[in-house]
A and B are shown apart, each in its own frame.
Chain A
Amino acid sequence: MYGNDIPEQPGTAGLLDEVAAAERDLAGRDHDASADPTAYFDAVIAADGKIEPRDEMPEAYRKGLIRQIAQHAHSEIIGMQPEGNWISRAPSLKRKAILLAKVQDEAGHGLYLYAAAETLGIDRAELYRLLLAGKQKYSSIFNYPTLTWADVGAVGWLVDGAAIVNQVPLCRCSYGPYARAMIRICKEESFHQRQGYEILYTLATGTPEQKAMAQDAVDRWWYPSLAMFGPPDTDSTHSAQSMAWKIKRFSNDDLRQKFVDMTVQQAGVLGLVLPDPGLSWNEERGHWDYTQPDYDELFTVIKGDGPCNRERMAHRQAAWDDGAWVREAAMAYAEKKKVTT
């Protein structure tokens, strides 16, 4: 049976427990609209309740959420490319099936998230337009190339791992539709992360060439994954307000630390080395010390000059343009059927 010989990964069970707890919380909430909408918003936030689509909300709360959820949805969609790059070349039929299913899940996550964003009064076509016009971003990580099969494993282990650490707190965020989407997404992401870990484990315990391939992938993906948590707290622009509105629950640096602590243990089990000579256990803090990512590189990538930014956007644009006649056909056909029935 698949995966039975793969050892447990330290640190992941706790994350899934948090997702389950968030789901239980959600079930218990009652929605009780009040006479004063503004007071209601403040009261719900203060009581750790959920804001729902019909509730009044500050314009900045709505806009900020649209920006964040859209960026998240775009990341799922652009994120299909680096992994999709290996579907045709996956080295076994089982791995091909797993990878195809994973990339399909990512499209599904994109759909949930676009649907969550649409509850805030914007439509998916407009969000696509903003993405393609470069007005909305997607995660910087997907601008790095997948050069070997081991990259598929590293993306699952490190990139999905970082995504889960980032997203688990969003399962409790104050906006109901987003929190509910995140619960579903986190469960599936954690499954993907496990699969990435298994790919790397198989390589790391395989032939010397396979092990070298795994190490090389980890060397290239470690710092981009750390940078996924965003700039250090001292430079983050959206943090304070997001925290006050309970959209964001932990700072970039807190989440990054949590990820490092979890990943160092897992790398030990894999027998792979994280490419940071500065990693050392800090007894006093009870955490691993690590060397910060190169934030200049992060900003270069975010501004569009990473290795694959142009290709990723050109690919999405081409798929959109090439599909125009299909979407028009579907609409024309639907119109005809409406008239005749």
Chain B
Amino acid sequence: MTGVDDVLALGDDALIAAQRLAEWTTNAPELEEDIALANIALDLLGQARLLLTYAGELEGEGRTEDDLAYLRGDREFRNVQLVELPRGDFADALVRMLFFALYQRELYDGLVIGDDARLAEIAAKAAKEVAYHVDHSTLWTLRLGDGTPESHRRAQEAVDRLWPYTHELFEGDVPREGWLAAVDAVLAEATLTRPSDEDSRFRPTGGRKGVHTEHLSYLLAEMQVLHRAHPGASW
């Protein structure tokens, strides 16, 4: 199956998700959570590095993970919009992680048995990490949804705000049914309700074609500033 753009898309998802999540470092509500969020960001960054390296090899023009991460403009990034949205509050972070980790679980489950051996290998490694991300975000969705009235309100707002962006995850080969069933089970136990698919025609998309929200350009400006200031330097 695999084209450069497909692999770039997966690598960019992981890279941009990691960059956002890392913004929590020193800002988490508990020390334990500083550690957990940094840990998950590190896992995602590790996935991004493997995927971008592979994409560079497929492309065959000698571009490294760093060339791809630091020297592409925002119209060249292939990530879904969900992962580039601003950091938000803790409910945003954990609900987004729930949606994204459950998607990655479906994705990697498919790649592990797919015919691209290299992707299967990357997916097998990543699947173990994603299982942990799913656990962590599930637990927090339950705590926030079924915690206090304030945390319930915030968690519900995060679900409502992020839901429209989840449609873009399923424009490719990953089936939505398994994901939807898993999300529904967690939200139900967390006493949260998800928007019905009929409720809104707002279904943002375009990330896979390099059409993003206004947020990505700022994220990249920050991420790339130093690398771009010293062309050709080693770090």
Contacts and interface: CB of A to CB of B under 8 A. Distances in A.
B26 interface: yes
A88 to B, nearest CB: 5
B148 A332 contact: yes
A241 interface: no
Interface string A73-92: 00001001100100111111
Contacts of B227: 91-92
Given A108-B35, A325-B148, A202 B234 contact: yes
Of A107, A199, A206, A315, most B-chain CB atoms within 10 Å? A107
A88 B220 CA distance: 10
B28 interface: yes
B90 A328 contact: no
A318 to B, nearest CB: 8
A283 to B, nearest CB: 40
A243 B152 CA distance: 53
Nearest to B20: A88
Interface stretch (B45-53, B126-134, B205-213): B45-53
B197 interface: no
Looking at chain B's contact residues, the main secondary structure is helix
Contacts of A91: 70, 226-227, 230, 233, 235
Interface size classification for chain A: 35 or more
Contact of A322 (B29, B39, B222, B233): B29
A89 B223 contact: yes
Contact of A80 (B15, B26, B142): B26
B150 interface: yes
Nearest to A78: B26
A16 interface: no
A322 B89 contact: yes
Contacts of A332: 147-148, 151
A333 B143 contact: yes
Contacts of B63: none
Contacts, number: 137
A327 interface: yes
A104 B42 CA distance: 10
A325 B154 CA distance: 10
A96 B45 contact: yes
Interface residues of B, number: 49
Contacts of B148: 325, 328-329, 332
B214 interface: no
Contact of A207 (B29, B34, B146, B230): B230
A88 B151 CA distance: 28
B42 A329 contact: no
A129 interface: no
Contacts of B45: 93, 96-97, 100
A330 B26 contact: no
A80 B34 CA distance: 10
Nearest to B226: A91
A326 interface: yes
Interface string B8-27: 00000001000100110111
Given A107-B38, A327-B29, A333-B146, A149 B23 contact: no
Interface string B150-178: 11001000000000000000000000000
A308 B28 CA distance: 20
B65 interface: yes
A327 B125 CA distance: 32
A232 B68 CA distance: 51
A36 interface: no
Given A107-B38, A325-B148, A207 B26 contact: no
B30 interface: yes
Contacts of B222: 88-89
Given A93-B48, A322-B27, A107 B150 contact: no
Given A80-B26, A326-B144, A100 B42 contact: yes
B234 A206 contact: yes
A319 B52 CA distance: 33
Contacts of B33: 323, 326
A103 interface: yes
A88 B52 CA distance: 18
Nearest to B224: A89
B147 A329 contact: yes
Nearest to B144: A329
B34 to A, nearest CB: 5
B32 interface: yes
Contact of A100 (B25, B32, B144, B154): B25
Given A323-B90, A325-B150, A206 B29 contact: no
B31 interface: yes
Contacts of A239: none
Contact of B26 (A93, A315, A325): A315
Interface of B: 15, 19, 22-23, 25-35, 38-39, 41-42, 45-46, 48-49, 52, 65-66, 69-70, 89-90, 142-144, 146-148, 150-151, 154, 222-223, 225-227, 230, 232-235
11 contacts: A91-B70, A93-B52, A94-B235, A107-B31, A107-B34, A202-B234, A206-B233, A207-B230, A319-B27, A322-B90, A325-B151
Rank and list the top 3 A-B pairs by shortest CB-CB distance, nearest first. Answer: A323-B29, A329-B147, A329-B151
